[in-house]
Homo-oligomer: A and B are copies of this chain.
Amino acid sequence: MGEGALIDRIVRRAGLEPGGRWVLGIGDDAAVLATRTGEELVFTTDAQVEGVHFRFDREPARVVGRRALAVNLSDLAAMGASPVGALLSLSAPGSLALSRFDGLIEGFVDEAGRYGCPLVGGNLSSAERCSLHVTVIGRCRRGRALRRSGLRAGDRLFVTGRLGAAALARHTADRHGAALRRVPTPRLVAGQALAGLSGTRACIDLSDGLATDLAHLLEGTGFGADVDPAKLPTPRGFAGRCRALGLDPLAVAALGGEDYELLFALRDGPARAEGHDPRSLSRRLGVAVTEIGRVGGAPGVRGLPPVARGHHFGGRR
């Protein structure tokens, strides 16, 4: 099947005109977006690579397509931004089954529909293995994008949701050869709420694991952090299931990665009275929020297992 026919299959699933402020979508040399004053556009890119992030014999193509967009939306969430649109650069061998091609696109477009992030452009190219390289465009009010930088001593550290489920599922699947079928939930509503909150100091999404991503937030600050390992929120029955696989629950929760929850810091002090307790925060962010520690002291993260050295180039799994 030629490229034109494949693009037709995409258009049939995604639609040609994304609407809203998109002046032009799929089918021309580029997509065109009308801009507005008082806002900032936010750009991020991430990839799912066959043999590294997914295997077609382990999960349906639809799940891969959904995840390819979801991990990018998670980066928007960490900026406190709302989705505007997405571009997909898809590489695949000529031998890729058409049902898998369609599955990738349907999953992507399905996820796009859930979060109001239309597919507005893309590219198809041959390659020996399949990969999906996604760029997502978001928007936020001028000056309100959440950053990774800015932590100060005394800031309180929080996470959304629960940690370790993705890593445990990966370990379980490796053991049993089971299908993975995990699509993270991008914390877009939580990120947008944090961007509107006074006192939010920094935010990052947990893709590499709490210990690694917290180290990213601390980079260049000169400070360390104290985390209470007993406070890390994990799914029900998590410790037992880890031990049944011979794994240390704390290591899985703190180092496992791919949680795609938000790790954020709020400044301490008067803001405490403004409903910065976990219960009020959970209500405002629309997801469970747990306070896990505090910024300060000498560099290094105390309370979490050390991150292994020699982390491999890029991906995982």
Contact = CB atoms under 8 A, between A and B. Distances in A.
Interface of A: 1-4, 6, 23-24, 27-37, 39-47, 49, 51-53, 75-76, 78-79, 81, 85, 87-89, 91-94, 96, 120-129, 131, 133, 135, 137-138, 140, 142, 145, 147-149, 204-205, 309-315
A99 B120 CA distance: 36
B47 A313 contact: no
7 contacts: A2-B310, A24-B145, A30-B75, A31-B42, A43-B137, A92-B314, A128-B128
Contact of A87 (B24, B40, B126, B135): B135
Given A43-B137, A127-B315, 8 more contacts: A2-B313, A28-B149, A33-B43, A41-B41, A53-B125, A89-B135, A126-B313, A128-B128
A24 B137 CA distance: 14
A118 B81 CA distance: 22
A32 B24 contact: no
Given A131-B91, A312-B94, A30 B47 contact: no
Contacts of A51: 127-128
A81 B28 CA distance: 13
Contacts of A122: 45
B3 A34 contact: no
A184 to B, nearest CB: 14
Q: Identify which of A46, A127, A204, A313 gathers the most chain B CB atoms within 10 Å of its CB.
A: A313
A49 B147 CA distance: 33
A49 B310 CA distance: 27
A30 B49 contact: no
A29 B44 CA distance: 7
A228 to B, nearest CB: 25
A3 B137 CA distance: 24
Contacts of A309: 2
B44 A30 contact: yes
A311 B127 contact: no
A127 B52 contact: yes
Nearest to A88: B45
A196 B285 CA distance: 47
Contacts of A121: 43-45
A281 B276 CA distance: 64
A208 to B, nearest CB: 9
Contact of A29 (B6, B133, B148): B148
Q: Identify which of A53, A135, A145 gathers the most chain B CB atoms within 10 Å of its CB.
A: A135
Nearest to A220: B27
Contact of A36 (B37, B126, B313): B37
B204 A29 contact: yes
Contacts of A75: 29-30
